[in-house]
Amino acid sequence: MDHLISPLSPTNRWWSEETTAVVTGANKGIGFAVVKRLLELGLTVVLTARNAENGIQAADSLRLTGFRNVHFCCLDISDPSSIAAFASWFRHNFGVLDILVNNAAVSFNAVGENLIKEPDTIIKTNFYGPKLLTEALLPLFRRSDSVSRILNMSSRLGTLNKLRSPSIRRILESEDLTNEQIDATVTQFLQDVKSGTWEKQGWPENWPDYAISKMALNAYSRVLARRYDGKKLSVNCLCPGFTRTSMTGGQGTHTADEAAATVAKLVLIPQEKLTSGKFYICLEPKKIIAKL
């Protein structure tokens, strides 16, 4: 997949400052770094955050370093009314969208800890959040010849080989997978957690609730990619690799800026090299592989 990370040379440049990207959970971590990278490359970027004060501060810090095309809007992806308000604000202020990076997510485990603490919040934030936001913004994608792009930030913890149950795996692997089946799988997981039986059912062992949220997001991305096949909208997932942010307690093999450089390269791939329905893993900043 080396071609994916070829330099963003001027000849590959299909975008301009009219090209608009939205990044969720962008007050810090990889999200903030992605906003900065896209601004450096000359796009217009809407930085969103659930906490207005943190979001405004983050956007102001970028403006202070000279970026004019950064905008802020509050967005809590776990709250459907916040998503609806954001979609309406975006439609009113921008009208069309080119790139959506669904980055915001939560985990309540430290690295090496595999407890299930707030499964409902994790599923609501990491799976239903990006799904609802995507559905709300779908009518606004430009879908011109340069192709609109959705990148869902995922995790290798959510790949299907982490499922120990062959029957659940068969469902999620199916070429005919539906959104109803994905929702039913997630509901089943939450029920198994509530009844205390989840360990026997073959769900992932590492960061289990987080892994299921990302597995569901990957599955939804494949279904969406199929729905928009040939309709000028690409949908992919990326695991940014073990990155030093607050989610990992500052541990990791690389920085948020390095992860963001990969994100930018993936979402800005020239149209002729663009894929859809893929899951990419960034093993190290300059090495990414396609899994699905």
The interface with ligand NDP within residues 132-151 (CB under 6 A) comprises none
| Residue 107 beta carbon to ligand NDP: minimum distance, rounded to whole angstroms | 7
Using CB under 6 A as the binding criterion, the count of chain residues that bind ligand NDP stands at 31
255/260 Cα distance (integer angstroms): 9
Residue numbers annotated as active site: 210
Among residues 27 and 134, whose Cβ is nearest to ligand NDP?
A: 27
- Sole binder of ligand NDP in the list 19, 20, 44, 103 (CB under 6 A): 103
Which alpha helices (DSSP H) does 94-155 contain, by range? 119-123, 129-137
Q: Does 77 bind ligand NDP (CB under 6 A)?
A: yes
Residue 243 interacting with ligand NDP (CB under 6 A) = yes
Q: What is the DSSP letter of 234?
A: E
Say how many CA atoms lie within 13 Å of 127 toward its Cβ.
26
Judged by CB under 6 A, the residue of 119, 252, 277, 285 near ligand NDP is 252
Region binding ligand NDP by CB under 6 A among candidate stretches 23-31, 90-98, 161-169, 201-209: 23-31
Of 28 and 143, the one with the shorter C-beta distance to ligand NDP is: 28
Residue (49 or 137) nearer to ligand NDP, CB: 49
- Give 97 or 142: the residue with its C-beta nearer to ligand NDP: 97
Which stretch, 50-58, 93-101, 191-199, 265-273, contacts ligand NDP (CB under 6 A)?
Answer: 50-58
Q: Which is nearer to ligand NDP, 174 or 246 (CB)?
A: 246
Give the strand order in the sheet containing 44-49: 70-74, 44-49, 20-23, 99-102, 148-153, 233-239, 279-284, 287-290
| Strand pairing report for 279-284 and 233-239 | parallel
* Per-residue exposure over 168-180, b if at least 16 CB sit within 10 Å of its own CB, e if not: bbebbeeeebeee
Token pair belonging to 18? 């009219």
Among 20, 27, 109, 148, binds ligand NDP (CB under 6 A): 27
24 binds ligand NDP (CB under 6 A): yes
The yes or no reply on residue 30 touching ligand NDP (CB under 6 A) is yes
Contact with ligand NDP (CB under 6 A) among 242, 274, 276, 277: 242
Task: Name the residue nearer to ligand NDP (CB basis): 185 or 218.
Answer: 218
Is 246 a residue that touches ligand NDP (CB under 6 A)?
A: yes
CB atoms within 10 A of CB 195: 9
CA-based nearest residue to 75, from 55, 91, 45, 94? 55
- Report the interface residues with ligand NDP, using CB under 6 A: 24-25, 27-31, 49-51, 54, 75-78, 103-106, 125, 153, 155, 239-240, 242-243, 245-248, 252
